[in-house]
Structure 1
Amino acid sequence: MKKLPYILSLLVLLSAFFSTPSVQAQDRKGWSPQAKGAVIGGLGGAAAGAIINKRNRPVGGIVGGVAGGAIGYGVGKHIDNKQKERARIAAANRAAAAREAEYRRAIARANASKKSNAASAQATAMPVNSLVASNAASSAAYLPNDAYGNAAHPYGTSEYRRKSW
């Protein structure tokens, strides 16, 4: 007679478990570093507090657990901040690489148009007028670098030049 409530509750539990429609699993995020640190620190602190306080182990476990959880949370927060900083630096490096690649593409386009303009200018007669020649020279904002991107040329990459200044 004493087993009847246990058997009935087991039957109700099993029927509720198997009669519910299947639910799709949601995307679960992992634990944050703060939560991991707090749990690990809390468990370690509780164990250490219970071992240290021999007269009243439950109180020692509670005090140690609270202190260990707080310290573990702080360590987890530090780890999370380091991960965010690494992600920020990686994003900045990707953005700088994209800017550098766009700059190189712009130079390549300018060199290609310069070569096509030079080829068409050689086919036509060059003007003798000094005003036209001086305007063409002043329109170029930078000095041409013919060795840009040439690996055989010393310091062929702009990386070294940028860091050497």
Structure 2
Amino acid sequence: MNKQASMPVEQIETPFYTITVNENGTINIYDKQLQRTFRDVLLLEDVGDDGDEYDFSPLPGDEAIYNKEVKATYSLRQNSCFAYADIAYRLPVPADLDSILRFYNPAPKATTAVFQWNKPLLGVFRTNLNEELLDSLVADECGTFAVEVKPNEVQTVLVVDKQ
């Protein structure tokens, strides 16, 4: 086990990639072998979905919310064995809908996503893919809750507003 401390860096540099973070929280990845830059990786789109686990059915009149125009904060750390990026920003969420959040983790390690819901919550519930309740997650008085997703796992979470 390497006990070398990680140091803050301006960009992540490996023998194969150079990774930079953009102002909106997306990242640019320069692949040194391909000599090609992949821009705006991690660009997110949030849209309403009236479908089920088998199909996507857009809501009439719904407009997508993107992280293109947000102002992100971030920190990068790296040592000779690993690199770490912590990127945070806020996206507006429609006030009149409960939200289904789905997470998939393709990484070889567990990943934790932390959310702060800036409105009163009735509850946060882990569900199966059919959106049947399994258990509840703990949210603090500020609406902050965390979801841990194991490697190759899908987690579905229902967030219910008090409104």
TM-score range, shorter chain: under 0.3
Q: Which has the larger radius of gyration?
A: 1
Pick 1 or 2: higher relative contact order, CA cutoff 8 A, min separation 6.
Answer: 2
TM-score by length of 2: 0.16
Structure with a larger share of its residues in strand? 2
